[in-house]
């Protein structure tokens, strides 16, 4: 055993800090990309000749969704809360404005309460699940967004839902069960969802993480107030927000690798390059925290230090349009563990390709990185094009790769 304060401890702490940085995500993904270009990966090859066509597809998709390119929002959970043409964000603001104690900190905290729980519930639901509300039917990520919003405003995550429904606190989160969540998500034998138990367990661990942070005063939204007070000169670097997310909420991830005594979350060991951090949900959450922080008067510095998102829509785009070429029939035929080299490679190569696609999209549109940051390329964008292409390729629009998931990765 390594003594406390030894060089071994210091090395582990340094590795932990590195693996929680967007720099590490890009560097480890680029290492796998270089191997792919040399033909040295076991499961995937890269065909860069497809990137120009993919960029043109993304541009067409973006222009169809956002004819005014200046109106493209950043990729975040908040856009999903507008599903079905219902402005749930405005409805939440109106409810917050009516609160007796609706000061700035309360508004910020409530928005954090909503968006964090919504993002953490936002893993793949499967092809069959649907959510019905207000005479409309929703599916996939938008469906989970609408369902999580309805749960939140009904006080499902509050220990006092009658008097203070618009909050998520440790007591209520720790009491969430799979049965309660299934009812709220309308899950039954005819409307199955992948990973309901995993989502419920994730929220329970989220409650424990909130309880472990006394400075949050027992409330998830206390995280937002803490970040606001940490800002220097009214600005927060995006990488600092991601780091805070990974440090404060790292304990919620189930059965993952550990470094320096800390849960690493969405970090996986590849047989050739070692640990590969991807942090899909944590980065998705970080992008989604930009809006409430900006509404609280802060600016987000260096947002493009974050990477794209290693999920099945972006990844599916590159497989379905030929930039990622499987080596062997089993890659697309078989079901794979999320920890397997084939899935790690797929997700890592996706992030490397997203950076390259973003450069081409900007060139086609004549926009700079400042005018069209990566978050807007994703929103415009790559995930939307991936969804459309999946619908063209497969009944139900599922991903090209079958991954065994517990509802806490994708």
CA distance 287 to 281: 10
CA distance 149 to 143: 10
pLDDT score at 5? 57
Cα R_g (the chain), whole angstroms: 21
Cα 163 to chain centroid distance, Å, stands at 31
CA distance 231 to 294: 12
Long-range CB contacts for residues 101-109, cutoff 8 Å, separation at least 24: 104/296, 105/225, 105/228, 107/295, 107/296, 108/221, 108/224, 108/225, 108/228, 108/292, 108/293, 108/295, 108/296, 109/167, 109/219, 109/220, 109/221, 109/222, 109/224, 109/225
Query: Across 14-133, where does the E strand assignment appear?
Result: 44-46, 131-133
Any residues with CB less than 8 A from the CB of 281 and at least 6 apart, and which? Answer: 119, 120, 122, 123, 266, 408, 409
**Helices 280-295 and 238-249, interaxial angle, to 10°?**
120
CA angle 89/152/248 to nearest 5° reads 95
Report residue 250 as tokens: 């790292």
Strand-pair partners of 46: 324
Which has the closest alpha carbon to 148: 212, 217, 209, 92? 92
pLDDT by 10s per residue, the chain, length 410:
444 556 678 999 999 999 999 999 999 999 999 999 999 999 999 999 999 999 999 999 999 999 999 999 999 999 999 999 999 999 999 999 887 666 889 999 999 999 999 999 987 778 889 999 999 999 988 999 999 999 999 999 999 999 999 999 999 999 999 999 999 999 999 999 988 998 999 999 999 999 999 999 999 999 999 999 999 999 999 999 999 999 999 899 877 889 999 999 999 999 999 999 999 989 999 999 999 999 999 999 999 999 999 999 999 999 999 999 999 999 999 999 999 999 999 999 999 999 999 999 999 999 999 999 999 999 999 999 999 999 999 988 889 999 987 666 75
Sign of CA dihedral 181, 185, 191, 196: negative
pLDDT score at 125? 79
Length of the chain: 410
CA angle 342/347/349 to nearest 5° reads 95
Question: Which residue is associated with the tokens 């997310």?
Answer: 245
Any residues with CB less than 8 A from the CB of 232 and at least 6 apart, and which? Answer: none
């Amino acid at each position: 055993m390594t003594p406390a304060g030894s060089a071994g401890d210091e090395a582990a702490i340094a590795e932990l800090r590195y693996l929680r940085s967007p720099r590490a995500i890009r560097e480890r993904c680029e290492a796998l990309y270089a191997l792919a270009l040399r033909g040295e990966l076991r499961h995937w090859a890269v065909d860069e000749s497809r990137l120009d066509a993919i960029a043109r597809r993304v541009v067409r998709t973006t222009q169809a969704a956002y004819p005014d390119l200046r109106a493209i929002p950043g990729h975040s959970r908040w856009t999903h809360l507008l599903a079905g043409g219902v402005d749930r964000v405005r409805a939440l603001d109106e409810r917050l404005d009516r609160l007796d104690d609706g000061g700035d900190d309360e508004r910020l905290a409530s928005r954090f309460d909503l968006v964090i729980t919504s993002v953490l519930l936002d893993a793949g639901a499967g092809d069959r699940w649907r959510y019905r509300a207000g005479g409309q039917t929703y599916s996939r990520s938008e469906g989970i967004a609408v369902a999580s919003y309805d749960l939140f405003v009904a006080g499902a995550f509050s220990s006092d839902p009658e008097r203070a429904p618009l909050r998520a606190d440790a007591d209520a989160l720790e009491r969430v069960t799979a049965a309660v969540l299934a009812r709220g998500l309308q899950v039954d034998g005819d409307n199955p969802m992948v990973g309901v138990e995993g989502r419920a367990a994730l929220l329970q661990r989220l409650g424990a993480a909130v309880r472990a942070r006394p400075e949050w005063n027992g409330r998830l939204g206390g995280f937002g107030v803490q970040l606001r007070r940490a800002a220097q000169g009214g600005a927060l670097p995006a990488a600092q927000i991601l780091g805070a997310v990974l440090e404060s909420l790292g304990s919620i991830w189930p059965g993952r690798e550990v470094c320096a005594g800390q849960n690493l979350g969405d970090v996986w060991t590849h047989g050739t390059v070692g640990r590969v951090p991807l942090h899909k949900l944590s980065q998705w959450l970080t992008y989604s925290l930009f809006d409430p922080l900006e509404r609280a008067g802060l600016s987000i510095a260096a947002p493009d230090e974050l990477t794209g998102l290693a999920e099945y829509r972006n990844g599916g785009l590159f497989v379905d349009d030929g930039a990622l070429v499987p080596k062997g029939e089993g890659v697309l035929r078989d079901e794979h563990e999320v920890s397997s080299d084939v899935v790690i490679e797929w997700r890592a190569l996706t992030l490397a390709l997203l950076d390259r696609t973003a450069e081409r999209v900007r060139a086609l549109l004549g926009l700079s990185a400042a005018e069209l940051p990566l978050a807007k390329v994703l929103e415009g964008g790559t995930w939307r094009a991936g969804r459309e292409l999946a619908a063209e390729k497969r009944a139900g629009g599922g991903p090209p790769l079958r991954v065994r998931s517990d509802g806490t990765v994708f």
